[in-house]
Amino acid sequence: MPQSNSLTGQKVVLQRDDVFQLLTALRERGYCVIGPKLKRGAIVYDELNSGADLPAGWTDTQDGGTYRLQKRRDNALFGYTVGPHSWKKIIHPATRCFWRAKRNGDGFESLGQEREPTKLAFVGVRACDRQAIAVLDKVFLEGKYVDPTYKSQRENVFIVAVNCSQAGGTCFCVSMGTGPKATFGFDLALTEVIENGAHYFVVEIGSTRGAEILGGVPCKEASSEQLAAAKRVVAEAAAHMGRQMDTTDIKGLLYRNYENPRWDNVAARCLNCSNCTMVCPTCFCTTVEDVTDLTDDSTERWRKWDSCFTLDFTYIVGGSVRASALARYRQWMTHKLATWIDQFGTSGCVGCGRCITWCPVAIDITEEARAIRESEAVRKEQHDPHT
Ligand code: SF4
Ligand code: SF4
């Protein structure tokens, strides 16, 4: 059994049901374990009270505007891709009370923040979502202004990554260089192998505390055959991506195409519902609301997720900066794939496909990027057919 930090980077094997003991070991060390669970017709991230909460034998099928659960033929514990939730909902929650105060005589007494950080274990973090957490870390932890509430929660997260064994119909992590294998920033990374009657997990140890947690869980050194099987699982997922995104000079492409007629086309279809920004694991925009009660005895300041798809988001001095649907979709997609790179040194898109699956009219960021690239190529051909 792993006992020391010298085991970081080593790979061991856990039998399927021994994953339940891993969850128990995390709970015994004080972690609140969050992982995949069936809820209201989807696989979402929620507190796991035991291994029985995992979506054993379930998978999802996804396409533009479509998400369905299905029974699998096997009893896989992590045999799905990603659902509507991302880890953003926990480390950057949809609503957060920053401050509250109550009247005290002629003045006010500050009651401070709503809650303290909890020790959390994220179980089932996909490679694309691990990259999304890294993107949020850049936004909230790097640069001049650090978000103290994000920082205190983020420092209390133990990450159990799970490499993908299948790709969803809207996944394109391979194009974005973010998956399907987790390569950094995990305490443990699991690959689920089901073949020839065997069902086990190859576990890569990513940190000292990862090795310590495994110390109380029955595992064995991985054989060369088991390591090869885990590699095949990930290669199979990589070979079956539902979508592709050509990222060649994507920043320049979008900067050159602010006036492309394709923006009119997508604006005619977009409902401005903001689903895409809500499900996106990296969209981080918020608004702030101050709330006072009717008696004027208490007041609260809340931060809430906002979206660049709403008119209010850019409302200043009597009007919205981005008044049209065209301007709002163009802003979102250009930020994700181009201006984000200037702002944070990385793409704002990790290729998870959620915005495609959960768009009610199946608008597809890969298809929109392709259409803009193709129309630019046609324009070039018409202007200079000899280049
Ligand atoms: S833009 Fe779409 S595919 Fe990219 S990270 Fe956000 S939700 Fe996922
Ligand atoms: S692209 Fe789709 S999900 Fe996003 S705002 Fe438009 S209709 Fe809604």
Residue 176 contacts by C-beta under 8 Å, 6 or more apart in sequence?
128, 131, 245, 247, 347, 349, 350, 351
Closest CA to ligand 2's atom 2: 359
Q: Is 275 in the pocket of ligand 2 (CB under 6 A)?
A: yes
Q: Tell me, what's the pLDDT at 386?
A: 65
Strand, helix or coil for residue 350: coil
Which atom from ligand 1 is nearest to the alpha carbon of 354? 7
Does ligand 1 have an atom closer than 6 angstroms to the CB of 350? yes
Does the beta carbon of 373 lie inside 6 Å of ligand 1? no
Give yes or no for residue 120 CB within 6 A of ligand 1: no
- Between the CA of 136 and the centroid of ligand 1 the distance, in Å, is 13
Take atom 5 of ligand 1 and give the residue whose Cα is closest. Answer: 349
Ordered DSSP codes for 106-173: TEEEEEE-S-----EEEEEE-HHHHHHHHHHHHHHHSSS---HHHHHHHTTEEEEEE--SS--TT--H
- For 118-147, the pLDDT digits (tens) are 899 999 999 999 999 999 999 999 989 999
Q: Which atom of ligand 2 is nearest to the CA of 269?
A: 7
Specify the ligand 1 atom closest to the Cα of 348: 5
Does residue 269 have its Cβ closer than 6 Å to ligand 2? no
pLDDT digits (tens, 9 = 90+) for 194-215: 999 999 999 999 999 999 999 9
Residue 276 phi/psi, 5° resolution?
-60, -40
Q: Where residue 115 falls among pLDDT bands split at 50, 70, 90?
A: low
Q: Which ligand is located closest to the Cα atom of residue 356?
A: 1
Instruction: Establish whether residue 88 lines the binding site of ligand 1, counting it when its CB lies within 6 angstroms of any ligand atom.
Output: no
The number of the ligand nearest the C-alpha atom of 360 reads 2
Confidence label for 113 from pLDDT (cuts 50, 70 and 90): low
**Mean pLDDT estimate for the chain:** 94
% of the chain surpassing 70 pLDDT: 97
Indicate the helix (H) or strand (E) that contains 267: helix 262-269
Per-position DSSP letters for 170-238, written without gaps between them: T--HHHHT--SS--SS-SEEEEEEEETTEEEEEEEE-SHHHHHHHTTS--EEPPHHHHHHHHHHHHHHH
> For the chain, how big is the Rg over CA atoms in Å?
23
| Model pLDDT, residue 282 | 98
The number of the ligand 2 atom at minimal distance from the alpha carbon of 325 is: 6
pLDDT digits (tens, 9 = 90+) for 152-196: 999 999 999 999 999 999 999 999 999 999 999 999 999 999 999
Residue in 222, 162, 164, 152 with CA at minimum distance from that of residue 186: 162
Q: Calculate how far, in angstroms, residue 360's C-alpha sits from the geometric centre of ligand 2.
A: 7
- pLDDT at residue 299 is higher than 80: yes
Alpha carbon nearest to ligand 1 atom 1, residue: 349
Measure 62 CA to ligand 2 centroid, in angstroms. Answer: 17
Q: What is the pLDDT of residue 2?
A: 46
pTM for the model stands at 0.94
Q: Which residue has the tokens 């994700």?
A: 336
Cβ neighbours of residue 149 under 8 Å, at least 6 residues apart? 96, 98, 113
Instruction: Determine whether the shortest distance from the Cβ of 23 to ligand 2 is under 6 A.
Output: no
Q: Which of 282, 307, 366 to mutate to test the pocket of ligand 1 (most atoms within 8 A of CB)?
A: 282
Pocket test for ligand 2, best of 66, 276, 330 (most atoms within 8 A of CB): 276
Q: Whose CA is nearest to atom 4 of ligand 2?
A: 276
